[in-house]
Amino acid sequence: MKKEKNILIVISLILISFGAYSQDSDIKEIRSYYYGISNLIEKKQVYCNQIELNKFGADADNWPALGRYNYKATFWYNTAPAQWDEDGEKSLLKVDEINIYSANSEKREYLYKDGELIFCFINHEDVGEYRFYFANNKLLKYIEKTKTEYDEEIIYNKNSSNDILEDGKRLLKYYLEMF
C-alpha cells in the first residue's frame, strides 16, 4: 500500500512538472511573438491606424471631471482592409493605448494572435506594471511589479483578467468598425 502511494505521488509530481513546463513554453512563445511583432512595427512592415482624443491634452482647457486629458490608440495590423475576407479580425496584431489624465497616466499594450488576445501589458505611472498572459481566453500567468507598499493603491490583480479580456474584445470590435 505504501509503495502504491509513493508511485501515485511520483506520478502526480511528474504531471505537475509537465503542466508547469507547458505553461512556461506557452509564455516563451508569447514573448517571442511579441518581439517579432515589435520588430515588424519598428521596420514599418505592418499597417497602422491611430485615434487620438483631445490631441492638445495639457495645452488645452481642462476636461470636466478629468482635468488634463489625452487618449491615443494605435492599431497595428498586417492585412489591408481591401484584402479582408470574413477573417478580418485575424489581421489585428497589437493595440497600444495611452491615457494621460490629471493625476496619472496609463499605457497599455494588447497583443493579438489569430483574432485572440494573448497578452496585455499595463504600465500605470506611480503604481506599477502588470502583465497578463492568455491562451484560449483563459489566464495563463499574471505578473505584477508594484511601486507602492499600500494594497489600496494596487489597481489590477489576477482577478482583473476577465476585464482585460473584455477590453481586448472591445478594441478588436472597434478596430473592425473603423473600416
DSSP letter for each residue of 107-122: EEEEEEETTEEEEEEE
How far lies 137's CA from each of 3, 119, 133, 156, in Å? Answer: 40, 10, 10, 18
pTM, two decimals, is 0.81
User: What confidence tens digit (pLDDT) does each residue in 114-135 have?
Assistant: 999 999 999 988 788 999 999 9
For residues 27, 18, 116, 41, the Cα torsion angle rounded to the nearest 10 degrees is 30
**Residues of 131-159 as b/e, b for ≥16 C-beta within 10 angstroms?**
bbbbbeeebbbbebebeeeeeeeeebeee
User: What confidence tens digit (pLDDT) does each residue in 145-164 have?
Assistant: 887 665 555 678 888 999 99
